[in-house]
Chain A
Amino acid sequence: MIRTFSLSVLALAASFSAAAAQTEIQWWHAMGGELGQKLEAVAAAYNASQSEFKVTPSFKGTYAETMTAAIAAFRAKEQPAIVQVFEVGTGTMMAAKGAIYPVYQLMKDAGEPFDPAGFLPAVVGYYTDSEGNMLSMPFNSSTPIMYYNKDVFEKAGLDRNTPPKTWEDVEAFSKKIMESGAAKCGFTSGWISWAQLENFSAWHNQPIGTMENGFGGLATELTVNGPVQARHWENMARWQKEGVFSYGGPGGGADAPPKFYTQECAIYMNSSASRAGVVANAKEFEVGYGMLPHYADIAPQNSIIGGATLWVMTGRPEAEYKAAANFFTFLSSPEVQAQWHQDTGYLPITQAAWDLSKSQGYYDANPGADVSIQQMTLNAPTGNSKGLRFGSYVQIRGIIDEEFQALLSGQKDAQTALNDLVARGNVLIREFETANK
C-alpha cells in the first residue's frame, strides 16, 4: 500500500518536472479543412504519447503563403522549428544551406533511431541529396493516377472493368464514348504541368532536365522539348479540337473535377490524394481506377510524386531539435504512417506502413487505393524518374501552363510551345543559379 502510494507520488513528481521542462516546438503547415484536422490529430496523438516535448501546429495558409511566412519569420529570427514546404519549393530550400537542418543530420545528432532503407525510395528519392542523404521528412505525397466512369464505359459498349492502358486506347475509347453519346468528352486532367509534362516524361523515361533532372546541381537545364513530349502535346492539341480532351484550366486545373463529376468527361487524371474527393462527389456513377496511360511503343517506367515535406529550420535552441527528431521518429512509425495514409489518401512513406495497411485489409476494402503505390514502384527509379529539382520552379510551372494555353488556342504548335517553354524556364534557372551560387 505504502509502496504503491510512494510510487504514484514519484510518478506524479516526475510528470510535474517533465511538464515544467517540456519543450515546445512550432510546426507551420498548409493543410486546411479536413486534412488540417487529421494533421492536428497526429500532433495531438504525439503530445499525448509522451510528456517531454510538445508539438504545436499552426495553419499558415496555402503552400506559397506558408513558405513566405517562414521566410519572413526566418529573416526576423522568429522561424518555426518545422515547416511544411511543397515539392516545387524543394530546390529553394536545398539551396538555402544556412537556413535548413538536414533531416539525416538532425536524426544523427539527436541520436534517434533512423533507418533510411526503410523508406520507399520512390517517395524519399525526391528529397535526398546526390549522396543519398535525406534532407527533409516526406509528409504528404501523392502521384497522378487515372479515374474513369465505369457506367459511361458500359453505356458506350466498353468493358466497365478495363481502363485504357495506352494513349492509343484513351483516344479510341474516348471516340467510342463520344460517338455512342455516353458522354460529351473523353478525358480531362488536373495539373497539366505535373501530370501531362513532368509525370508524362518520367513515366516514359524521358529527361525533364539535364544533370538528372537537376539533382546533380544548379547548372541544370530543362530538356522537356524532346520528341516524345512534343508528340504528346501535339496530340493533346488535336484531341482538344476534336473534343476528346477538355482543358481544365491552369495550375491545379480547378475546372477539371466538375467535368468528371457531372459526367461530361468519362476519364479524369489527377492526384491520387483526390480519391476521397472523387468518391464523395461521384454519387451517381461508379468510379474505376487505373495507372496513367503510356504510348504503346514505350514501356512505362514509374511516376513521380508531388505533395509536401517537413523541413527543419536552423537557429532554434538545441532542445527544440531533440523534440523535432523525436517527433519525426513518431511520425514515421508504421502505425502513424498507415493511419495517415488511410485517412487522407496520401502515400505511405515507409515499406512497413504499406505492409501494415495491406495486412489490415485496407486495399481490399478500398479498391483503387493502391494503384498509386503500384504505379510509383513499378520499376526502380532512373535518373529521369527520381523526381525533379529546379530553382524558381513555381514560376516555371506557370510558364508551362501559359505555353500549354498558347498551344491549345492555336497560337503555337507543340514543338514551338515546348521550345519556348524551355527557353523561358532556363532563363529563370540561370537567375536562380547566380542568386544561390
Chain B
Amino acid sequence: MTRIDSLLIRTAGWMLALLWVLPLLYAMWAAFHPPAYEARFVLNAPLTLNNFARAWDQAPFARYFLNTIILVTMILTVQLVLCTLAAFAFARLDFPGKGVLFAVVLVQLLVVPDILLVENYKTMRALGLVDTILAIGLPYFASAFAIFLLRQTFKTIPRELDEAARVEGCTLLGLLWRVYVPLGKPAMLAFGLVSVSHHWNNFLWPLIITNSVETRPLTVGLSIFATTDSGTDWALINAATLMTSAPLLLGFLLFQRQFVQSFMRAGIK
C-alpha cells in the first residue's frame, strides 16, 4: 500500500469522522454549561451539572430507565432466537413456498409505519395488553431486518462446514449453535446494536399504547422537554438527551471493544 494513498484515506476519514460527531460535541457543550452559554463559546465558561439535575427532577427517570432496559432486553433476546431459526430455514432448507414466505417476511419492512397505530391498538386491546411493556415490544419480536441480514450472512458460510458437522452426527440445534451462530456473530452483534438503539429510541408506538409511569420508556419521558409553549430550553434538552442516551453510549463502548477486537483478529489471521 502506498504511503500517500494511505495518508489520504486516513485524513479524509478523520475529517469526516470529526464532522460527524460535531453535533454531539455541541450537545455536550450545551448540557454542561449554564443556559447563558448555549450559543457563546468561550473557554472559561463555567461547567455545571445543574442542567442534569433539573432534567432528572422533571420526570421519574429511574423508573423509565428500568422500563427501557426491560423492554430492549426482552425484544433483542426474542428477536435473536426467532430470527436465527427463521434465517437458517431461509438460507439452508428447501421447502415449497420458500420464496413467497420470504417475500411475506420482507413485506414487514415495507409497511408505512403510520398505518399500524390504530389497528395494533385494537389488537392489543383484544389481547388485554394495553398499557403493558409487553405490548410495546410484541409487534417487534419478528424482525425482517434480522432475518434478511442473517440470511445474507448464513448464505456465505461454506456448505462444507455443515456437511462436516452433519457427518459427525450433529442435531439441527447443535449445528446452528456450533457452526452458524459463531460465524454469524459479527452480524448478530451489529444487528443487536441497531435493534437496541432503535427500540431504546422508539417513541410514537410506546407513547400511544401506554399511559402510566410503570410501563413507559425513556423516550416518552424525554418528550416532555420537546413540547413547550414558552420557548425551548436548550441546555435542559441537551442534558436530558445525553442523560437518557448515556447507557446506550456506554453499551456501545463496551460492545465496540468486542467488535473491534474480533475485527483485529480477523485482520491478523
By a beta-carbon cutoff of 8 Å, the part of chain A in contact with chain B is 26, 28, 30-37, 58-62, 65, 68-69, 71-73, 75-78, 142, 254, 257, 261-262, 271, 273-278, 280-281, 283, 345
Contact = CB atoms under 8 A, between A and B. Distances in A.
Contacts of A26: 211
Interface string B205-239: 00110011000000010011111111111000000
A273 B230 CA distance: 7
A72 B232 CA distance: 29
Most interface-central of B121, B212, B230 (chain A CB within 10 A): B230
Give the 7 A-B CB pairs with smallest separation, nearest first.
A277-B230, A277-B231, A32-B224, A32-B227, A76-B125, A72-B121, A58-B211
Contact of A35 (B125, B204, B228): B228
B36 interface: yes
Given A69-B207, A281-B231, A75 B118 contact: yes
A77 B232 contact: no
Nearest to B221: A59
B229 A37 contact: no
Contacts of B117: 68, 72
Contacts of B39: 262
A44 to B, nearest CB: 14
Contacts of A345: 230
Contact of B223 (A32, A37, A271): A32
Given A32-B223, A33-B58, A65-B207, A274 B229 contact: yes
B230 to A, nearest CB: 3
A280 B207 contact: no
Nearest to B227: A32
Contacts of A262: 39
B122 interface: yes
Contacts of A276: 230
Contacts of B233: 33
A69 B229 CA distance: 21
A276 B226 CA distance: 17
Given A72-B117, A75-B118, A33 B225 contact: yes
A78 B126 CA distance: 11
A61 B212 contact: no
Contacts of A280: 230-231
B88 to A, nearest CB: 37
Contacts of B179: none
Interface string B107-138: 00000000001100110110000100000000
B227 A274 contact: no
Contacts of A281: 231
B109 to A, nearest CB: 23
A33 B228 contact: yes
A218 B124 CA distance: 35
Interface residues of B, number: 27
A34 B57 CA distance: 11
B227 A33 contact: yes
B216 to A, nearest CB: 9
Given A76-B122, A78-B121, 18 more contacts: A33-B228, A34-B58, A35-B229, A36-B58, A62-B227, A65-B204, A69-B208, A72-B208, A73-B121, A75-B118, A77-B125, A261-B231, A262-B39, A273-B229, A274-B231, A278-B230, A278-B231, A283-B36
Contacts of A30: 227
A61 B207 contact: yes
B229 A72 contact: no
A57 B212 CA distance: 9
A174 B227 CA distance: 32
A68 B113 CA distance: 14
29 contacts: A26-B211, A28-B211, A31-B227, A32-B226, A32-B227, A33-B224, A33-B228, A34-B58, A36-B224, A58-B212, A60-B207, A61-B220, A61-B223, A61-B227, A65-B204, A65-B208, A68-B117, A72-B208, A75-B118, A75-B121, A77-B125, A254-B232, A257-B232, A276-B230, A277-B228, A277-B229, A280-B231, A281-B231, A283-B36
B159 to A, nearest CB: 49
Nearest to B237: A33
A59 B224 contact: yes
A104 B220 CA distance: 34
A26 B131 CA distance: 13
Interface in B221-263: 223-233
A77 B225 CA distance: 30
A278 B208 CA distance: 32
Contacts of B204: 65
Contact of B122 (A59, A62, A75): A75
Contacts of B212: 58
Contacts of A78: 121, 125, 130
Contacts of A58: 211-212
Contacts of B36: 283
Contacts of B231: 257, 261, 274, 277-278, 280-281
B165 to A, nearest CB: 49
A61 B223 CA distance: 7
Contacts of B229: 35, 142, 271, 273-274, 277
A273 B231 CA distance: 10
Contacts of B58: 33-34, 36-37
A59 B225 CA distance: 12
Nearest to B117: A72
A32 B228 contact: yes
A78 to B, nearest CB: 5
A276 B121 CA distance: 38
Nearest to B223: A61
Contact of B230 (A59, A254, A274): A274
A273 B224 CA distance: 17
A430 B193 CA distance: 48
Contact of A71 (B118, B220, B226, B228): B118
A69 B121 CA distance: 9
Interface string B166-207: 000000000000000000000000000000000000001001
Most interface-central of B122, B227, B232, B233 (chain A CB within 10 A): B227
Contacts of B230: 35, 273-278, 280, 345
